[in-house]
Amino acid sequence: MRDDITYRLPQQRRLVTELPGPRSAELADRRRRAVAGGVGSSVPVYAADADGGVIVDVDGNSLIDLGSGIAVTSVGAADPAVASAVAEQAGHFTHTCFMVTPYEGYVAVAERLNRLTPGVHDKRTVLFNSGAEAVENAVKAARLATGREAVVAFEHAYHGRTNLTMGLTAKAMPYKTGFGPFATGIYRMPMSYPYRDPAGQTGEEAARAVIARINTQIGAASLAAMIIEPIQGEGGFIVPAPGFLPTLAEWAREHGVVFIADEVQTGFARTGDWFACDHEGVVPDMITMAKGIAGGMPLSAVTGRADLLDAVHPGGLGGTYGGNPVSCAAALAALDSMERHRLADRAREIGASIVARLEQVAADTGVIGDIRGRGAMIAAELVHPGTDEPWHELTRAVAAEAQRHGVVVLTCGTYGNVIRLLPPLVIGDDLLADGLNVLAEAIATVAAR
Ligand SMILES: *Cc1c(COP(=O)(O)O)cnc(C)c1O
């Protein structure tokens, strides 16, 4: 328990049925007949309640949440400050459309993001609903402002599921296969991936290789933007070697290329700083944000250099729901909670506990090839012992085993062999320790099969 946080639900793992229980099984049956088959779910239980570090299912099982609904509920899924801000705003108006009758919440979120994001230059912000939409619009604005068309994205990148963002995303299955053709003008460059790169390669060397390739394949004068996740999310929590991001950002600045940091997953205290770019002092020209921004309410943002975002003609950016007033109220409350509870510091503590536990498991089992990440965004890459060969089947089995014992664990990675841990930042120490023990047990059990 954390004494500065009050929880509504008991912070404990408690199973009263097998998972999935009968009511979840019943819902799964209804779902099969009603919901499109293309939507997947990682865990076969249906949620009834959630708070702090637990999710309670419709059968009354209390599960430990080590995924935060994919890095979203950093302040918890029922932060009292967010809940009351949402209720208050919904009691007044749920929508007017900022493009019709604007309101203060949108402006206040923009002011707040302009202040929180890296760099002290003059900034502007525009709000949307999803991460993909933020990425789309960052690229739109970068192309218009530069008058150039080419965009560079990286290997292992994930930027969303709309047409342009599928094009930017690296992994075919399940995100792209069968959904083409994709937007043009996208070039893919190698990512710094220290675990799999030649030993001893520095971040700067990896960046120089990218720059050389851009020069031969595109030419800086045709390049509008370079978009990169400072720590890759879906791609496997890949942390580039130190120097990679600063070298690319500096080159981009010299050549008038818009450097876009996609911090949709890494943003808002998750990595132990407000943003992952802060760690190496990288100041992006534009930053895309979503996931953790509003305590679970749908909201996304692009914050960037005023000259870039003000270059777009009035009416060129927007959307019916973008910057919804209820979501804006939630964001302001969630950001307050992050400050009040010092969740960036807490993210570092959580990360240290996770790494310590995973190191033990690595020594005991031999199936963890790499432990990486930053703050409360930590991954274990699972491999066949003594090699760096990805062990996808083991990874799936580990996640299923942990879930069977009441711990929500997510996987990711280009090779599907990465266990990713991103608990709510309000999780208590005992609950986290219990969740990690279950995971450790799951890895040991499944690896011994
Ligand atoms: C999740 C994610 C997106 C897409 O966000 P949606 O809200 O799902 O559209 C884009 N970029 C990154 C880095 C992400 O992790």
What pLDDT sits at residue 146?
A: 98
Q: Which atom of ligand 1 is nearest to the CA of 160?
A: 4
**Ligand 1 centroid – CA 10 distance (Å):** 31
Q: What is the mean pLDDT of residues 203-218?
A: 98
Strands 258-262 and 223-228 turn out to be parallel
* Best CATH choice for the domain 22-65+342-447 from the list 3.40.630.30, 3.40.50.2300, 3.90.1150.10, 3.50.50.60: 3.90.1150.10
Angle at the Cα of 154 from the Cα atoms of 149 and 157, rounded to 5 degrees: 115
Ligand 1 site, residue 169, Cβ cutoff 6 A: no
Q: Which atom of ligand 1 is nearest to the CA of 71?
A: 15
Q: What is the mean pLDDT of residues 400-416?
A: 97
Q: Which atom of ligand 1 is nearest to the CA of 157?
A: 13
**Ligand 1 centroid – CA 437 distance (Å):** 29
Residue nearest to atom 11 of ligand 1 (CA): 159
CATH topology of domain 82-340: Aspartate Aminotransferase; domain 2 (3.40.640)
The token duo for 401 is 């085993």
**305-337 burial by CB neighbour count: b if 16+ within 10 A, else e?**
beebbeebeeeebbbebbbbbbbbbbbbbbbbb
What pLDDT sits at residue 4?
A: 83
Number of residues written out for the chain: 449
Q: What is the mean pLDDT of residues 425-440?
A: 98
Confidence of residue 242 (pLDDT cuts 50, 70, 90): very high
Ligand 1 site, residue 229, Cβ cutoff 6 A: yes
Q: What is the mean pLDDT of residues 2-26?
A: 94
Domain boundaries, the chain: 22-65+342-447, 82-340
How confident is the model over 263-275, as pLDDT tens digits? Answer: 999 999 999 999 9
Ligand 1 site, residue 159, Cβ cutoff 6 A: yes
Contact 235, 414 (CB under 8 A): yes
Contact 308, 232 (CB under 8 A): no
The token duo for 282 is 């990288």
Ligand 1 pocket, mutate which of 39, 161, 264 (most atoms under 8 A from CB): 264
Measured distance CA(331)–CA(105) in Å, rounded: 9
Ligand 1 site, residue 130, Cβ cutoff 6 A: yes
Ligand 1 site, residue 263, Cβ cutoff 6 A: no
**DSSP for 253-287?**
HHTT-EEEEE-TTTTTTTTSSSSGGGGGT---SEE
Residue nearest to atom 6 of ligand 1 (CA): 131
**Ligand 1 centroid – CA 161 distance (Å):** 8
Residue nearest to atom 10 of ligand 1 (CA): 159
Ligand 1 pocket, mutate which of 265, 268, 275 (most atoms under 8 A from CB): 265
**Ligand 1 centroid – CA 132 distance (Å):** 6
Q: What is the pLDDT of the chain when averaged over all its residues?
A: 97
Ligand 1 site, residue 275, Cβ cutoff 6 A: no
Confidence of residue 3 (pLDDT cuts 50, 70, 90): confident
What pLDDT sits at residue 2?
A: 67
**Ligand 1 centroid – CA 70 distance (Å):** 9
How confident is the model over 72-107, as pLDDT tens digits? Answer: 999 999 999 999 999 999 999 999 999 999 999 999
Answer yes or no: is pLDDT of 276 > 70: yes
**Ligand 1 centroid – CA 92 distance (Å):** 30
Ligand 1 site, residue 264, Cβ cutoff 6 A: yes
Q: What is the mean pLDDT of residues 20-29?
A: 98
**Ligand 1 centroid – CA 184 distance (Å):** 20
Residue 310 DSSP one-character state? T
Ligand 1 site, residue 128, Cβ cutoff 6 A: no
Q: For residue 407, what are the β-bridge partners?
A: 64
Q: State if pTM tops 0.95.
A: yes
Ligand 1 site, residue 135, Cβ cutoff 6 A: yes
Q: Which atom of ligand 1 is nearest to the CA of 229?
A: 13
CB within 8 Å of 144: residues ≥ 6 apart: 311, 312, 316
Contact 49, 56 (CB under 8 A): yes
**Ligand 1 centroid – CA 318 distance (Å):** 18
**Ligand 1 centroid – CA 265 distance (Å):** 7
How confident is the model over 331-373, as pLDDT tens digits? Answer: 999 999 999 999 999 999 999 999 999 999 999 999 999 999 9
Confidence of residue 257 (pLDDT cuts 50, 70, 90): very high
Confidence of residue 446 (pLDDT cuts 50, 70, 90): very high
**Ligand 1 centroid – CA 146 distance (Å):** 24
Task: Kindly list the distances between the CA atom of residue 298 and the CA atoms of 251, 291, 366, 428, in Å, as whole numbers in the listed order.
Answer: 34, 8, 40, 26
How confident is the model over 111-161, as pLDDT tens digits? Answer: 999 999 999 999 999 999 999 999 999 999 999 999 999 999 999 999 999
Ligand 1 pocket, mutate which of 159, 168, 270, 289 (most atoms under 8 A from CB): 159
